[in-house]
Chain A
Amino acid sequence: MDKILLIATLVDILIFVSVIELIRRNRLKEKYSLLWLFSALAMLWFSASRKTLHYVSALIGIQYPPSFIFLLAFFFLIVINIHFSTVISKLSDRSKALSQEIAILREMIERNKGLE
């Protein structure tokens, strides 16, 4: 096996185990880990199986097969980042709505205190 593919395989295993461990310790929600696990598994498959890697590389015209793994990693990182951007957008919408609600409720409480 090429040295580069061996390194890629080991790194993929490390990522996979780390993500599982983070979920196990409740430091990462399953919801946000699925993309990471899926990416690690897909990359593991291409790093470990030389035959598949060479077949796919030839199919899409890549001269140096290990670079396909980099392409894949790059693609997954983009997907994961877009996913996170949508999560952040949702969170900021919610924190905005909560702040507005707090301002209105706080005023109501103060008004009722004044009536007592």
Chain B
Amino acid sequence: MKILVCISHVPDTTSKINFTDGDSKFDTNGVQFVINPNDEFGLTRAMWFKEKQGASVDVINVGGAETEPTLRKALAIGADSAIRVNTPATDGFQVAKELAKVVKDGGYDLVIAGRESIDYNGGMVPGMLAELTDANFVTNCISLEVDGTNATAVREIDGGKETVSTALPLIIAGQKGLVEESDLRIPNMRGIMMARKKPLTVLEPSTSSSETTTVKFEKPAPKGAVTLVDADNLDELVNLLHNEAKVI
């Protein structure tokens, strides 16, 4: 089984979110970048397929050279090789088109992506990729088993979960549950050394289209201070929620 894991290069959750160039660009100054958490669950599941079922695992990112350390980290965790499509990721549709070309050319059986990136939160690349490559698709995936060309997946739905049967070629958008937090791997020294020698192929983009354009970023208005209510005066809390906040 040939697996491709899509890796978004995102600012660490604790990063300060600021913008530059007239608020049109994310300010990367002093920001630590990491593998998108939803993608990391998928990568870890891919490692399981590699170890238990002999799958090969490539990782891919669409982005500039600055994303390579994040791909090297994925290689250090255990992926066999990495691909970077050398173009800034500006829109989900554009990224999906770039990935579709690589998926078709590479003959991948299974593509694992995250349900969304924690920076743009678009949540669209995996679904678009599935439609562009005519593959089966399961989103919000919290469990995946593959047996030959058949697959069983569990999707989180509003208020519960749904088990589906499907087949390769398959694209999933994964999240926590695909593996547990405790299963995530921290690269060890040997992995890091090996990652330096693993292939990282840079491909030039195949499309120049972009369907959406970011005009500007805004930060939410600063929040007012909390109103503290005495623990012995909960009538006041009920009163505030009813008369001031009007939520009960």
A and B interact physically: no
Listed in ascending order, the chain B residues whose CB lies under 8 Å from chain A are none
* Residues of A participating in the B interface, judged by any CB pair closer than 8 Å: none
